[in-house]
Amino acid sequence: MIRPGWSASGLLALAALATISGVAGAQERDPRELEAKKACLGGRPDRGIELLAEMYAETNDPTYIYNQGRCYQQNGKPREALTRFREYMRKARDMSADDKALVQGYISELEQQEKAAALDLSARPPADSQVPTVSAKREEETPPIYTRWWFWTGVGVVIIGAVATTLALTSGSSPSPYQGNLDPGTISVPSR
């Protein structure tokens, strides 16, 4: 017969042992896991991936490959994430059906993102085709008048005409009809 006091103290002892082993298990975790998680969530995926790669190389635990995929996915690198998730599917042999469905869902989602990005890029005109559009716009704008050939031709004609007129008026051989004599006390006006 089991005494009631014994079973309660036995349960307390088991709970304490489980708590202690849980704390010890948490202390045994590699501190690089936390650092990798912080790096991935903090927008430094290269550092997180590097740490996860080190831990995978040491342990051959495919969970680190999965975590690399998540790190890439969270930081907007779908192509790299796809590569890591596919590698995880190859390496993780004893994966549960739920885990497999989750990873397949990520792969499908990332493949859709890749297709959408490829369609978006194909819808855009190539960079070379934008050059004529820019130059055509410049041709449509009216250039200033002083850059036109006919403006300067007109200015030249006006200047030459002004010079010719001035020379013709000032270099005549006939005397001016208004030449008079202004001797003191006499005024003479030429006759016409």
Given 3.40.50.720, 1.10.357.10, 2.20.25.90, 1.25.40.10, which CATH number is that of 21-123? Answer: 1.25.40.10
What pLDDT does 155 receive?
A: 92
What pLDDT does 23 receive?
A: 43
pLDDT digits (tens, 9 = 90+) for 116-169: 888 877 766 666 555 555 555 555 678 888 888 888 999 999 999 999 998 888
Torsion of CA 129, 130, 133, 134, to 10 degrees: -140
CA dist 8 and 3 (Å) reads 9
CA-wise closest residue to 67 among 93, 96, 40: 40
Cβ burial, residue 182 (10 Å; 0-12/13-18/19+): exposed
Residue spans per domain, the chain: 21-123
What 43-52 contacts at long range (C-beta under 8 Å, 24+ apart), as own/partner pairs, is 43/75, 45/71, 45/72, 45/74, 45/75, 45/77
CA dist 42 and 165 (Å) reads 84
Judge whether residue 171 has pLDDT over 90.
no
- Residue 78 contacts residue 62 (beta carbons within 8 Å): no
Contacts of 84 (CB under 8 A, 6+ apart): 65, 66, 68, 69, 72
